[in-house]
């Protein structure tokens, strides 16, 4: 998995493979990144899109896969791991950070946000996609909804003690972690990344667990938690608001 150069910029300090661009809050980075990837194909890879929002961190990155879609979807797990590492590096170290399989990011037992993956329409499982889009949303603040006690199933970064201006630092950290994660994948294979993802995923105690080449979690050699089918509908995303479920 590689990233390549794109165009335009913000003040973000990113690894050389990435170039940031800002999109309007109304559009959303996932839709904007998919539209850009459809237009420019692999030439758009490396573009990192960031929405100008005060309530939600909304970021997306266009990737250039080098494997068939069936195995390239593991990029989603790699990106989720990079996202968790970024949040963990800036948050209180004693707070648990876990995944709800496969796409929900949970901080201290409450939903903080999640990730999603897009790929070209009509790309079959055995073909290398021209592009992939990974996007993520994290709640920065729920101040606009009033009493946080009304939405106990979710949490926001400001409620958890993160600095008010954490957005750009998190995006920069995510990009660095993502770049390193893909380098490890290229040099050493996916096994180490799988172990890092699984370290955040609650599974039955005492049951062997692994991630197979399709990105599915395999428990005890026979039980499968599928990846591909679950990526078609994000468990954390509120379809009415287009944001994180509160």
Q: Residue 11: inside a domain, yes or no?
A: no
Tokens linked to 165: 């201006």
**Beta-carbon-side half-sphere exposure of residue 6 (alpha carbons within 13 Å):** 28
* Residue 212 covered by a domain: yes
Closest Cα to residue 84, out of 158, 178, 219? 178
- Averaged in consecutive runs of 10 residues, what is the pLDDT profile of the chain (246 residues)? 45 91 86 95 93 93 97 98 96 90 97 98 96 98 77 93 92 97 96 97 95 97 93 95 93
Residue 4 resides in a domain: no
What pLDDT score was predicted for residue 9? 42
Q: What is the pLDDT of residue 41?
A: 87
Q: For residue 63, what is the domain's CATH number? A: 3.30.930.10
What does residue 90 show for φ and ψ, rounded to 5 degrees? Answer: -105, -5
Residue 14, in any domain of the structure: no
What is d(CA 225, CA 202) in angstroms, rounded to the nearest whole number? Answer: 12
CA distance to 13, 27, 74, 136, 202, per residue, from 174 (Å) = 11, 22, 17, 10, 22
Domain count for the chain: 1
Cβ-contact 113, 60 below 8 angstroms: no
Can you tell me the distance from the alpha carbon of 139 to that of 246, in angstroms, rounded to the nearest whole number?
9
Distance, CA of 2 to CA of 135 (rounded, Å): 16
**Which pLDDT value is given to residue 10?**
63
Range of the domain at 117: 19-244
């Amino acid at each position: 998995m590689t990233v390549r150069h794109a165009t335009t910029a913000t003040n973000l300090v990113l690894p050389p493979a990435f170039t940031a661009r800002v999109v309007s809050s109304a559009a959303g980075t996932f839709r904007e990144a998919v539209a850009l990837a459809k237009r420019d194909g692999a030439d758009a890879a490396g573009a990192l899109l960031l929405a100008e929002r005060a309530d939600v961190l909304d970021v997306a990155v266009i990737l250039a896969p080098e494997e068939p879609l069936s195995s390239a979807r593991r990029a989603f797990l790699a990106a989720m791991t990079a996202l968790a590492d970024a949040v963990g590096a800036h948050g209180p170290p004693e707070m648990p950070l876990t995944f709800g399989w496969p796409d929900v990011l949970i901080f201290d037992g409450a939903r903080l946000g999640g990730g999603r993956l897009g790929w070209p329409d009509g790309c079959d499982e055995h073909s290398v996609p021209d592009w992939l889009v990974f996007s993520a949303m994290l709640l920065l603040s729920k101040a606009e909804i009033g009493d946080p006690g009304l939405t106990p199933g979710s949490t926001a970064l400001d409620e958890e003690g993160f600095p008010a201006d954490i957005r750009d630092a998190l995006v920069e950290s995510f990009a660095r972690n993502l770049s390193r994660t893909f380098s490890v994948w290229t040099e050493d294979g996916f096994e180490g990344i799988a172990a890092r993802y699984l370290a955040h995923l609650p599974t039955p105690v005492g049951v062997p667990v692994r991630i197979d080449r399709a990105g599915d979690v395999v428990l005890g050699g026979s039980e499968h938690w599928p990846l591909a089918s679950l990526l078609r509908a994000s468990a954390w995303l509120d379809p009415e608001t287009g944001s994180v479920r509160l």
